[in-house]
Amino acid sequence: MKKNFKVLTVLGLAALTVGTTAVLASCTTDNPTSTTTGGDGTTEPTSSTTTTSEYISTQGDIVVSGPANQIEWLQQTLGEFNDAREAEGLARINFGFETHGEDKVDSEVGDWTRGPDVYAYASDKIMPLYQKGALAEIPEAGVEMINTEMTEASLDAVTFAGKVVSYPYAGDNGYFLYYNKDLITLEDTATIEGLLAKAVELGYKVAYPLNTPFYSAGALFTFGAGYTLTVNEAGLVTSIAANFDEEPGILAGIAIYEIMNHAGYQETQAAPIEENKLIACVDGSWNATTYQQQMGDAYAATKLPTVTVEYNGETHTENLGSYLGYKNYGVNPLRSAGDANRLALAHEVAMYLSSQDVQEARFDAFQTAPTNTTVAALDKVVNNIAVKAINEQSEFATPQTAVPAAIWTAPQTFTQGVIDKTITLTNIETHLQILNDAVEASK
């Protein structure tokens, strides 16, 4: 991954720059539910009637939250953690569990003094969580583990306002190109122009949901456009500067326009199979298992294609950009309420859940791309089709951390204008100026 953003603390301000120099995920979300695992490893439900606006606390000395499909795995994993503690003569921890999607935990927990001690969250939620006081600064031992055992990009994903505030455990919240190898070859995926032409030739389409901001924002980074957020030590945005209205953004805007107006283009996603009349589809790692099941032996994946744009008499070619988000564990100091022992235990749990052994176990259970460099180098990880594709695309991806609020609305306003034909190549620069103004005005 290119080093395409940085966090600097200068005169009490942290500047975060995002853009490429030349990445809302489909997370499982449910109403919060809770269970408690005691020292004997047994599990009992404690509540299943909560709503997203009313948080109900659980029993347990340490409360851990994660997406619904991982709660059973978390219970088993932390049972093993307790076994290891007991073998060392340490007391078992009484764990409570809550269900919160990584992309929803910031909004589902209304009162963080009653929120989980340790919780999984998507990296683009780092700013609102920090502003709520729900992210404790990581102690020296944790920072050392991240610095020595994790990828550089994952360190960026847990750093905000000049501080390391989380433990990264997954680097796969991004997208790439699935394709049907019974219909096309890897060479056919090299360029978006060639891929779309091949689709037309075969009477098929290429699915690429550019009217969804997660994808269109990623495409806007293709030629080097981006944004810079400046935040103060409280994590509040003081200014945003962007350049989507300059040549890098204009090139990307033209690329988006030309892709969406091609006869081989389709907005909606589905597995690239004959029944769906698709040869390829841009989608995320979260659908890898589903696509593999539907596609069978035809299942294949790779990075996004290159795109070529003519502008002012010059030809520009770059690999299509994307967003790449991370999954992190945050430690909530507000739940500890000054209890230093509880806070220390919470850090111990979060550190364990992001450790090498647990990242390997998580990959085995969910095919989750690890942030631990040793696990990432294992043959079973390197040879996993979806993980390999996301790693290939990561070179052209922008880490999804703190983002301007309008990055989730302004790109869709632009792409909707392409769809309804109010945006043309004649007025496209005006609309990119409008997009840029909206991003800079948002906080």
- In the chain the domains, ranked by start, together with CATH numbers, are 7-172+324-398 (3.40.190.10), 175-226+242-323 (3.40.190.10)
Q: What is the pLDDT of residue 443?
A: 75
Confidence of residue 16 (pLDDT cuts 50, 70, 90): low
Q: What is the pLDDT of residue 397?
A: 94
The arithmetic mean of pLDDT across residues 199-206, rounded, is 98
At residue 2, does pLDDT exceed 60? no
Confidence of residue 29 (pLDDT cuts 50, 70, 90): very low
Four-point Cα dihedral 306, 310, 315, 319, nearest 10? -20
pLDDT in tens, 112-140: 999 999 999 999 999 999 999 999 999 99
Vertex 411 angle, CA 52 and 392, to 5°: 90
pLDDT in tens, 236-247: 999 999 999 999
Rounded Cα–Cα distance for residues 433 and 440 (Å): 11
The arithmetic mean of pLDDT across residues 409-414, rounded, is 98
Residue 277 carries which DSSP code? T
Sole residue written with tokens 């090299």: 190
pLDDT in tens, 31-72: 344 444 444 443 333 332 232 323 333 456 899 999 998 999
The arithmetic mean of pLDDT across residues 318-337, rounded, is 96
Confidence of residue 210 (pLDDT cuts 50, 70, 90): very high
Rounded Cα–Cα distance for residues 118 and 134 (Å): 10
Rounded Cα–Cα distance for residues 160 and 16 (Å): 8
pLDDT in tens, 371-399: 999 999 999 999 999 999 998 999 999 98
Confidence of residue 17 (pLDDT cuts 50, 70, 90): low
The arithmetic mean of pLDDT across residues 191-220, rounded, is 98
Q: What is the pLDDT of residue 8?
A: 36
Residue 45 carries which DSSP code? E
Q: What is the pLDDT of residue 233?
A: 87
At residue 330, does pLDDT exceed 60? yes
Q: What is the pLDDT of residue 15?
A: 53
Instruction: Report the mean per-residue pLDDT for the chain.
Output: 88
Complete DSSP assignment for 365-376 = HH-PPPSBHHHH
**C-alpha distances in angstroms, 333 versus 13, 149, 163, 326?**
23, 25, 15, 22
Q: Which of 96, 70, 134 is nearest to 363 (CA)?
A: 70
Q: What is the pLDDT of residue 49?
A: 27
Residue 131 β-bridge partners: none
pLDDT in tens, 246-296: 999 999 999 999 999 999 999 999 999 999 999 999 999 889 989 999 999
Q: What is the pLDDT of residue 153?
A: 85
Rounded Cα–Cα distance for residues 372 and 148 (Å): 9
DSSP H helical segments within 36-162, as ranges? 71-87, 105-108, 126-131, 140-149, 152-157
DSSP H helical segments within 213-323, as ranges? 213-220, 247-260, 288-295
Long-range contacts of 360-369 (CB under 8 A, 24+ apart): 361/77, 362/73, 362/169, 362/170, 365/73, 366/69, 366/70, 366/73, 367/285, 367/288, 367/289, 368/169, 368/170, 368/172, 368/327, 369/170, 369/171, 369/172, 369/285
Rounded Cα–Cα distance for residues 354 and 116 (Å): 17
Long-range contacts of 56-61 (CB under 8 A, 24+ apart): 56/32, 57/96, 57/114, 58/34, 58/96, 58/97, 58/98, 59/94, 59/96, 60/36, 60/94, 60/95, 60/96, 60/97, 61/93, 61/94, 61/95, 61/342, 61/345
Confidence of residue 22 (pLDDT cuts 50, 70, 90): very low
pLDDT in tens, 422-443: 999 999 999 999 999 999 999 7
Q: What is the pLDDT of residue 242?
A: 97
At residue 315, does pLDDT exceed 50? yes
Q: Which of 332, 274, 279 is nearest to 133 (CA)?
A: 332
Residue 113 carries which DSSP code? T
Q: What is the pLDDT of residue 367?
A: 87
Vertex 294 angle, CA 291 and 295, to 5°: 80
